[in-house]
Chain A
Amino acid sequence: MSVSPAINPVEPFLRTERMPHIWCPGCGIGTTVNCFSRALVDSKLPLDKVAVVSGIGCTGRVAGYVKLDSFHTTHGRAIPFATGLKLANPSLNVVVYSGDGDLIAIGGNHFIHAARRNVDIKVICVNNFIYGMTGGQVAPTTPLGATATTSPYGCFEAPFNLPFLAESSGAVYVARWTAYHVRHIAHSMVEAFKKKGFAFIEILAPCPTLYQRRNKLGDGLETMRYYKQHSVIKNGASTRELKLDLKGEITVGKFVDIERPTLQDAMDQRYREVLKESYCGRGGA
């Protein structure tokens, strides 16, 4: 057995002693982690200034697998923790890496308010349409008609349209890709890292064990083929029209890229106006 002279480009970013990871065969989360590692390399961010915050769920495991400063918060509280982290240490690049159930269901309120206040954090939401880790219950992103363990007759609740939710709440960068669009994801992450403010990237990923199997959509590979065939890239499309169906077309692309004062900047400006010289600023700002 010879030792390989080359190393996997994602390896320096992984806690390899924790591999193999818990994600199922055909799950798309690992693919997004590859893109994340390439984006970190391309954006040339100093790695000791990058912090990854996750909530609970399959995607929440990312914080435990990446070899960066990371924190695995309680369910739904990734964004509040990240907000505090960023406000206390503004030199950090804070990335929230979590799933749809964690960010949008139990953490939905935090999500809209962080976007409204334009906290300078980057939110990567891996959307697999279901609560994966807890056994496949209906999530707020489950498409109409989809079967889950808690909707044996098909889901009848209208799902969230996440890019629309993010834009209307005030995010300055909104993009959606699928796990098939690996190079686009990496590029989008680089753009988001450079952006000041609340950046949101939704990544659709297969959950072959629970979502795809229960809905007879094939395995992970079948879903990736589906993403390849049914995705349409429409950069700048109106987020209002980005609803996802069980078997419909998927609109992907970068939809929002605007400038807006962040929470920190707005606070500094306001306090300077009101308090004038007596305002001493924030530590590390």
Chain B
Amino acid sequence: MPEAPPAAKSRKFRGRVFINWDRCKGCGFCIEFCPPKVLKFSDKFNNHGYHPPILENEPACTGCDLCGLYCPDFAIFGIREAVSAGVPAGADVPASPAAAA
């Protein structure tokens, strides 16, 4: 897990990305247009034979939901989550919800 960028450490929120693994058609819009470049193509295939994105650098995510706005398959979206006191952004990031969602 890469280090959170300095800007992310001072934020009051944490960005999280949810990926609907089997709805993705691998167009790559979310990967290309993610401002902090959080995503990359997975090596694994989904049920339809596409490579969905996975999180490469989750601590840098700002939760701007631009991936959700671009995704033509409604397969990904980002949210902003309040960071609870004492838990800095980037630390204690739960296992990627990507595969679960």
B79 A27 Cβ-Cβ under 8 A: no
A4 to B21, CA, bound (A): 12
B79 A30 Cβ-Cβ under 8 A: no
B26 closest partner in A (C-beta) = A25
Q: Tell me the minimal C-beta distance from B31 to chain A in angstroms.
A: 9
Chain A residues within an 8 Å CB radius of B8: none
How many residues on chain A are close to B (CB under 8 Å)? 34
A4 B32 Cβ-Cβ under 8 A: no
B29 A224 Cβ-Cβ under 8 A: yes
B32 A9 Cβ-Cβ under 8 A: no
B27 A34 Cβ-Cβ under 8 A: no
Interface mask (B1-27 → A, CB under 8 Å = 1, otherwise 0): 000000000000000101010010111
B23 closest partner in A (C-beta) = A20
Q: Tell me the minimal C-beta distance from B17 to chain A in angstroms.
A: 10
B73 A30 Cβ-Cβ under 8 A: yes
Interface mask (B68-101 → A, CB under 8 Å = 1, otherwise 0): 1111111011010000000000000000010011
Chain B residues within an 8 Å CB radius of A21: 73
Which of the residues B20, B26, B77 comes within 8 Å of A9, measured between beta carbons?
A: B77
Q: Check B66 for interface membership: any CB of A closer than 8 A.
A: yes
Chain A residues within an 8 Å CB radius of B101: 4
B25 closest partner in A (C-beta) = A25
Q: Given contacts A21-B73, A25-B25, A34-B71, are A224 and B79 in contact (CB under 8 A)?
A: no
A30 B69 Cβ-Cβ under 8 A: no
B18 A220 Cβ-Cβ under 8 A: no
B72 A30 Cβ-Cβ under 8 A: yes
Which secondary structure dominates chain B's binding surface? loop
A1 closest partner in B (C-beta) = B100
Q: Check B58 for interface membership: any CB of A closer than 8 A.
A: no
Chain A residues within an 8 Å CB radius of B69: 31, 34-35, 38, 182-183, 186
Chain B residues within an 8 Å CB radius of A263: none
Q: Check A80 for interface membership: any CB of B closer than 8 A.
A: no
Q: Given contacts A6-B18, A8-B18, are A30 and B74 in contact (CB under 8 A)?
A: yes
Chain B residues within an 8 Å CB radius of A25: 25-27, 50, 73
Interface mask (A217-238 → B, CB under 8 Å = 1, otherwise 0): 0011100110000000000000
B29 A9 Cβ-Cβ under 8 A: no
B74 A11 Cβ-Cβ under 8 A: yes
Q: Tell me the minimal C-beta distance from B56 to chain A in angstroms.
A: 17
Chain B residues within an 8 Å CB radius of A20: 23, 25, 48, 73
A9 B68 Cβ-Cβ under 8 A: yes
Q: Tell me the minimal C-beta distance from B32 to chain A in angstroms.
A: 6
Q: Tell me the minimal C-beta distance from A9 to chain B in angstroms.
A: 6
A182 to B66, CA, bound (A): 8
A27 closest partner in B (C-beta) = B72
B70 A8 Cβ-Cβ under 8 A: no
Chain B residues within an 8 Å CB radius of A6: 16, 18, 77, 79
Q: Tell me the minimal C-beta distance from B100 to chain A in angstroms.
A: 5
Q: Check A14 for interface membership: any CB of B closer than 8 A.
A: yes
Q: Check A154 for interface membership: any CB of B closer than 8 A.
A: no
Q: Check A81 for interface membership: any CB of B closer than 8 A.
A: no
A19 B23 Cβ-Cβ under 8 A: yes
A45-78 residues with Cβ-Cβ distance < 8 A to B are: none
B22 closest partner in A (C-beta) = A20
Q: Given contacts A4-B97, A19-B23, A221-B32, are A10 and B66 in contact (CB under 8 A)?
A: no
Interface mask (A182-201 → B, CB under 8 Å = 1, otherwise 0): 11001000000000000000
A→B interface (CB under 8 Å): 1-2, 4, 6, 8-11, 14, 19-21, 23-31, 33-35, 38, 180, 182-183, 186, 219-221, 224-225
